[in-house]
Structure 1
Amino acid sequence: MSGPSLNKLAAHRSIHDGAVTEGRDLMEVLERVYGEKHKKHAIIAARALLDHWETRTISHADSEEEGLYKRKLEENPDISHTLSMLKRDHDLLRILVKEIKERLDEQGVNDDVIDRFKAIYVLVQIHNRDEEAYLLDHH
């Protein structure tokens, strides 16, 4: 995901939208099986959702930091604060993923795990909107 698709708004937005939609759908499955007290299915759903956020969103964030953000900073050094804020969002996502992994291994699926998944979902949406507006709209 480090090629031209990171630089074009429509393509980048498509990547974001796909990840958010898939995350939402997996979250709905997790919440349903957790609410129905299906512990084994909840663990399976939680691990699938965790894998989704890691492979789709965290890896995308890594690509952005290694390519897009560096190029944007070279083009316009005045956006360093904006890039720092966007990188902090990525760091928060990594922290939440790490905490979910630890809790899943120690406690299984519980309300804390669900809350952290919801936090990821909201943070990703805010981050995507800001990133598209600050780095890709009209650029």
Structure 2
Amino acid sequence: MTGPSLRQLHAHHAIHQGGLSGAIAKTEEVEELLEAKEIEVARQAADHLIEYWETRIISHADAEEDGLIPEVIHQFHALLVVNSIHSRDEERLLLAEA
């Protein structure tokens, strides 16, 4: 079961945008520190960047794979079944009218 934020488009989009902007900012920080030849500080910033990816980006992707994606697939399959039944019934009605 997923949290409500994964199923609400606006909230889910905000999660993705927040993750992206955080990753960009942390990556730029590492790049700037490397350009300034602050190697040890850049190494620490890189460690923070990796931790960010593990705790924010990868954990969110895992939540999507474990909850949201199977839910969406199940709902999509249910819609396909309903559509198939509807199409079959509609075809019967059209043939009965002919």
TM-score after normalising by structure 1: 0.53
Partner of 1:37: 37
* Distance in 1 (alpha carbons) for counterparts of 2:67 and 2:29: 34
Question: Of the two, which has the highest radius of gyration?
Answer: 2
CA distance in 1, matches of 2:56, 2:29: 18
Counterpart position of 2:74: 74
Q: Counterpart in 2 of 1:3?
A: 3
Query: Aligned letter for 2:25?
Result: D
Match of 1:32, SS state, is helix
- Per-residue deviation, 1:29: 0.8
Distance 1:68 1:49 in 2: 26
After TM superposition, the runs of 4+ consecutive aligned structure 1 residues lying more than 2 A away are: none
- 1:21-56 residue CA offsets vs partner (Å, 9 max, x unmatched): 111111111000011111101100101111111110
1:51-91 CA-partner distances (Å, limit 9, x unpaired): 111110100011001100000111114xxxxxxxxxxxxxx
Q: Which runs of 5+ in 2 are unaligned?
A: 78-98
TM-score in terms of structure 2 length: 0.74
The Cα RMSD (Å) is: 0.9
Corresponding position of 2:85: none
> Is 2:60 the counterpart of 1:47?
no
Pairing of 1:1-139 with structure 2 (within 5 A): 2-77=2-77
Tell me which of the two structures has the higher relative contact order, counting C-alpha pairs closer than 8 angstroms and 6 or more residues apart: 1
- Alignment partners' CA distance in 2, 1:66 and 1:28: 31
